[in-house]
Structure 1
């Protein structure tokens, strides 16, 4: 039609910037929403399963309905300083940066809040962009949520196999028991499979995975003050 004006290039850029800003700010709004105890967050991986028409198994349970064996094992395996840091373990992070600057192989320094932020709002894979987005989200979530809420969310969105998310679905899938009834060894096996649950199958552990589980089981048994923010 005559007189109809097409959006100018500047207008398109402005819209793009506004959308980008909204996408960056949305996770911080969701952090506030997810602080409410009745909310049941879903991860970007779960959303991708739905987008690909694959579906997934996730059965939300409260932290009180998850075996303390699993809570202790996951903490001692994934983030031993969970109760004492503010979302990021800066001592570990500094070591990773120094190793990278020296050209050495870097070790993992992701805390449970960082993994939770990544799972909820970001994507898998290593990149400085993702890590740059992940750090403030982890700090923000750790500031807003209690440690118990953080652990509850993490254990309900963690991946434990193809299409298997959360402690309840994992316990039922791998060991045919509810999450509340996991034994110390079962919990340790689930914990050590977290870094790569596709190749590390908790219900079919090889000798190496059994050995790792034994180490984590002993650490969990002696966790003491390390878990005071959950069971203090």
Structure 2
């Protein structure tokens, strides 16, 4: 069962998209040619593909959650530029095999690398990426790890309802402390460049709760019949930090671009 069960509607509406500055960096990372091929791993509802539409004309996006893929299909297909091929495929990244002869010029893994068998996926990508292609692993900071006062208070509410450990669906989240760049340096894509893009956002109580319900650690089903109580407690907690229902966030995208070592 997907750790994101029941979150897809919230995910599509409330997860922040990919900023233009991040899309520009990803665009530059890939060689320019035609066809220009993108593989988006753990696509979810297609936020990365959406940000890169018009920059790649042959796109494969994979995820193991059929509801997420259905939402991606509904969102992306009407926006698809003429002449662009899009294949959405339900498959774990550890089992994906592209069509014969197909190699990506860029692989994107956004907010999903922690769910993967990382070494296995990076090793398999060696045959799936063009010789001069790149792998980009990137994301912004989760509410769970944030240190701002209002986010910390919200996290405490979640912990009061669900326990101290971060949830991942019906289990708890298991995460290592190794930097992703170190993992990439042990892979075929060992030449790693790191870039950061600052992001400022303004939230409301509605959008904060919508975001929380899009996550594996605060999915609606985890609260059972206490969901209304949780909703009310979060709202009451947030009023301590703003009288105008506006909550500022300073975040950043950390982008790691890996390439093969040049001979």
TM-score scaled to structure 1, two decimals?
Answer: 0.30
Report which structure shows greater RCO (CA 8 Å, sep ≥6): 1
- Which structure carries more strand by proportion? 2
TM-score scaled to structure 2, two decimals?
Answer: 0.27
- Which structure carries more helix by proportion? 1
